[in-house]
Amino acid sequence: MGRGIISWRSIFKEVRIRSVSSKAKALARKYGYRPYMVERYLRILGYDDTVKLLKSFEKPVKPVIRCNDLRVNCKWLIKRLESLGFRLEYIGWSIHGYRVLESPSSPTIGSTHEYLKGYYYVHRDAAPLIPQLLLLHNNWEGVVLDACAAPGGKATHLAQLLGDRGVVIANDIVLSRLMALISHVLRMGYTNIVVTWCDLRKMPRLVSTRFSRILLDVPCSGEGTIMLDPGRKTRTTQVDLARIVAREIEILQAGLSLLKPGGILAYTTCSIAPEENEYVVSKILSLNPDVKVVEPPIKLLEWSNGVVEYGGLDLDPSTRKCIRIWPHLHGMIGFTICLLTKQ
C-alpha cells in the first residue's frame, strides 16, 4: 500500500466550484441551499432531475425496522406490531426489513415493548441495509471489521447475517456513540460482536490482524440525508467539504491497510457529493496501484452507477462500478457504496 497525505487546501483548489449559473442561484434561493450544491446537481443530473431531487428532499422518508430473527419469529412480530396500529411493508431485497408506512399516536416505533426486548432495530431508511448484504453475500463466514460502527445499525445487521458463522469487530472513535452501540448489542442479544474504541487511522500500527471483509461507513457531510436534517442544505461550505474529504481519504487509506489481499472493503457514505465518494476513491486508486473497484456481487435493486464525469475532475473510470442511491429515483436517502479490493 502506498502512503500519501493530501492536504485539504489542495483538495479545495481541485474540487472548488468557482462559477455558479443563474439557474443554480435561482433554485438555491427557492429551496434554501448553498448555490454550489445546486450547481453540482445541475452538472451531474441536468435541470429536470435536479428539480426532482430538490423536491424529494422536501418529503420525509419512512423509517425501516429490521426484524431480529435470532430472537423472534418475524411473522409473529409483524402481526403484533400491526395489532398495535402500525402498517408495515416488506422490503423484498432486504431479507429482514419492513418499511413503517403508518404509525399510531402511541407508542412510537422505537418505544414498544417489542423494541425494548430487542426484537427489531429501527433504521432511518432502507439504504443503509445494502452494504452488509453485499459484503456477506452467499453466506460468507469469518471475521468482519465494522470500522466506524457506532451507533450500531450496520454492526448488528452484520452480526445477524453472520449468526454463528463469524464475528464482528465493531470499532469507533466516539466513546459516547459506542455506548449507544453497546446498548443495542445488549438489547438485541448478539454474542458475536466485539466492541473496540480506536481512531481507525491509528489501528494499522496497533494491531497485527488483517481482515477479509471491512465495512467503512465514514463520517461525512450527510448530504444525502437533507430530508432528515434540513440544516444540511447550508451547513457545509466548500472549505468544510474539502476538510471532510481530506479526512475521508485518510480513513479509507487506513481501512485498506487493514484489508487482506483479495478481501473486500465496502466504502460507504450517506452523501451524494461526488467529492466524498468517486473523488475519494479515485485519489485512493492513484495512491495505491494494488487497489481496484469491484462490481457488486449481486444486484439487490435497480440502483444507479457511480459518477465518472463531473466538473473537469480527474475521476477514475472504474468508479462507474460504485452504487448510488438517489432520493428522487429510489425513494430512499442519498447513499453511495464503493466495493474495493487489493492484490
Could you list the active site residues? Answer: 270
Q: Could you tell me whether strands 323-325 and 304-305 are parallel, antiparallel, or unpaired per DSSP bridges?
A: antiparallel
Q: Which three cell numbers stand for residue 204?
A: 494499522
Whether residue 107 is preceded by a cis peptide bond, meaning omega within 30 degrees of 0, is yes
299 CB-contact burial (10 Å; exposed 0-12 / middle 13-18 / buried 19+): exposed
DSSP 74-133: HHHHHHHHHHTT-EEEE-GGGSSEEEEEE--SSS-TTSSHHHHTTSEEEES-SGGGHHHH
260 CB-contact burial (10 Å; exposed 0-12 / middle 13-18 / buried 19+): middle
- Taken in order 47, 33, 321, 152, is the CA torsion positive or negative? negative
Question: What's the CA gap between 90 and 78, in Å, rounded?
Answer: 10
Q: Strand 64-67: give its sheet, edge to edge.
A: 87-90, 97-102, 64-67, 120-123
- Taken in order 321, 324, 328, 332, is the CA torsion positive or negative? positive
SS3 254: helix
Nearby residues of 254 by Cβ (< 8 Å), 6 or more positions away: 200, 201, 202, 203, 204
In this structure, how many other beta carbons lie within 10 angstroms of the beta carbon of residue 37? 27
